[in-house]
Amino acid sequence: MKVMQRFLLTFLILTPYIVNAQVKQAGIQTFLNNAGLKHASVGICVKDLSGNQLAGHNADKSYTPASILKVVTTATALEVLGPDYKYPTTLAIDRDNPQRLFIHGYGDPTLGTEHLDNTPNAFLSLWTDQIKQKFDSTKKIDITVIDDYFGYEGVSQRWIYQDMGSYYAAANYGISLYDNTYKLFFNTTRRDTCPEIIRTEPEVNITFRNTLTLNSTGQDNAYIHGQPLSTDRLITGNIPGGRSGFSIKGDIPNPGLLLGQTVAQQLKEKGFLTGKIGTAYDKYNEQMYRKVKEPYKESIFYTHYSFPLSDIIKETNVKSNNHYAEHLIRTIGRTKKADIYSSPLNAGIDKTEELWKFRGLDTKALVMFDGSGLAPSNAVSPAFMCDLLVYMQTKSKYSDSFLESLPRAGKDGTVRNRLKGTRLDGKIWMKSGSILGVQCFAGYYISGEKKYAFTVMVNKFTGSRSQITKAIDNLLLSLF
């Protein structure tokens, strides 16, 4: 009798879980039957915060993650640097030349940013006031911007040609300015010629080869192509006709030099004389193969600090900011290899894999070539993503900062239109990821005591993206 009672008790306890799992799997099967997924690769994972998988489909296989890779980058940055970390940028006097100003950057992506409720040019007045106290205004001031902290590779070697030169694929150096982004303005009112280039904001020394045409759809189908540090840019595609001030965005080729020029202009307006303006680029390359490298002789008189890391990772995840993510992975790399002649990107990727392996995660499915997810060669499994998400809520000291960095479906950022008006509105914290043929989501469902981590990854879908995202909405409604 007691054996039968124990059996019945066990049966009654387990039955709701079994039924719930069956319902979830049924929802997954309905999703997989979507016509747009007939030729696609799909991976799904749902885990509770004890790490138990409640439902899934090919959860251990690797897929191209697009921007959900930022979840890995931002979590790693939190674990390595902490939420209060701030990037320094220093102003110094050359000890061998009292009229030479050094501006030394250590990878701050927020200098002059248009994000984070920042006033882009606010720092310039503050810097100018500090410089005025240290330099003789009757003599020329030479300015050298030391922008070599990340070296000069700038971008991942796995990024594609179509992306490089665009603002969302801006190169990353020790100095970043204005998000390393400029706006290029056109007059498109004439149809007997290519769109007329009016100006850039900020003013940047770039030579454009303009092959744009006009469309009547009102869509921006333009691309700016170019290599890091090159001032030659090719513009392809088409933009709307009939506009007197239409703009697209590209990446600033040499933000360190632009910063030096911008500071020099500010000083001139204050009555100072300026001389040579340059960066660390030439010295960096001259010393690359020397055994003994001569450092800059700096007497620091002012240190500018960035927004705290907690703000930076929130901007990275909510707005899917590639530029911030790429600075984060390189900053992680510099904690592993401080030598500016080593690759901070490679070191950051190595550090990321080592950290999560040390924390007990299986990293075999994680393949990284950048920190933002822009490289199509990146790969990760839904199971790894769920394990990382579980870790960040159950074992990380910074669980609150991490959760707050994720946008809420129906409310924020790139997922503000997902699940809006449904019972999951505001109860899903998730990062989205999309590049050509890829649509992914990773995050949490939280409602009272119910807390789950989930990842949905779709590669090579057919049909429209809106159809796939709507199908994923319905999948999440069936899962939670």
Using CB atoms within 10 A of its CB, is residue 78 exposed (0-12), middle (13-18) or buried (19+)?
Answer: buried
Model confidence at 126, pLDDT cuts 50, 70, 90, reads very high
Which amino acid is located at 168 in the chain? Y
| Segments in 136-274 forming alpha helices (H) | 255-269
Q: Could you tell me which residues come within 8 angstroms of residue 50 by beta carbon, excluding any fewer than 6 positions away?
A: 390
- What percent of the chain has pLDDT above 70? 96
**The pLDDT of residue 294 is above 90:** yes
Domain-by-domain residue ranges, the chain? 29-83+311-479, 88-305
Residue 109 has pLDDT above 60, yes or no: yes
Encoded tokens for 78: 């939190």
Single out the residue of 173, 229, 185, 188 nearest to residue 205, CA to CA.
229
Question: Span 405-428, mean pLDDT?
Answer: 95
48-105 pLDDT, tens digit per residue, is 999 999 999 999 999 999 999 999 999 999 999 999 999 999 999 999 999 999 999 9
Mean pLDDT of the chain: 94
pLDDT value of residue 425: 96
- Token pair, residue 443, equals 């995050």
Q: Is the pLDDT confidence value at 178 over 50?
A: yes
Specify the CATH architecture of the domain 29-83+311-479.
Answer: 3-Layer(aba) Sandwich (3.40)
Looking at the predicted structure, is the pLDDT value of residue 11 above 70? no
Rounded to an integer, what distance in angstroms lies between the CA atom of residue 160 and that of residue 421? 37
H helical segments located in 60-213: 69-81, 122-132
Band of the pLDDT at 26, cuts 50, 70, 90? confident
CB 395 within 8 A of CB 27: no
SS3 (DSSP) at 182: strand
Mean per-residue pLDDT for 399-412? Answer: 96
Q: What would the mean pLDDT of 257-280 be, rounded to a whole number?
A: 96
Residues 223-239 have a mean pLDDT of: 96
Task: Check pLDDT > 80 for residue 129.
Answer: yes
Question: 2: pLDDT confidence band, cut at 50, 70 and 90?
Answer: low
CA separation, residue 259 to residues 116, 147, 150, 152, 256 (Å): 20, 10, 17, 16, 5
- Confidence category of residue 4, pLDDT binned at 50, 70, 90: low
What phi, psi does 56 have (nearest 5°)?
A: 180, 170
**Angle at CA of residue 122, ends 317 and 114, nearest 5°:** 30
pLDDT at position 6:
58
Token pair recorded at residue 354: 């080592």
Q: What is the pLDDT of residue 18?
A: 52
Q: What is the pLDDT of residues 315-337, one digit of tens each?
A: 999 999 999 999 999 999 999 99
For 217-295, strand residue ranges (E) read 221-225, 232-240, 246-251, 273-279
pLDDT in tens, 349-377: 999 999 999 999 999 999 999 999 999 99
Sheet holding 41-48, edge to edge: 53-57, 41-48, 450-459, 438-447, 428-435
pLDDT of res. 27? 87
Q: Looking at the predicted structure, is the pLDDT value of residue 10 above 80?
A: no
pLDDT at 191: 85
What pTM was computed for the model? 0.93
pLDDT above 60 (res 221): yes
What is the average per-residue pLDDT within 297-308?
98
Which pLDDT value is given to residue 171?
96
Mean pLDDT of 122-132: 95
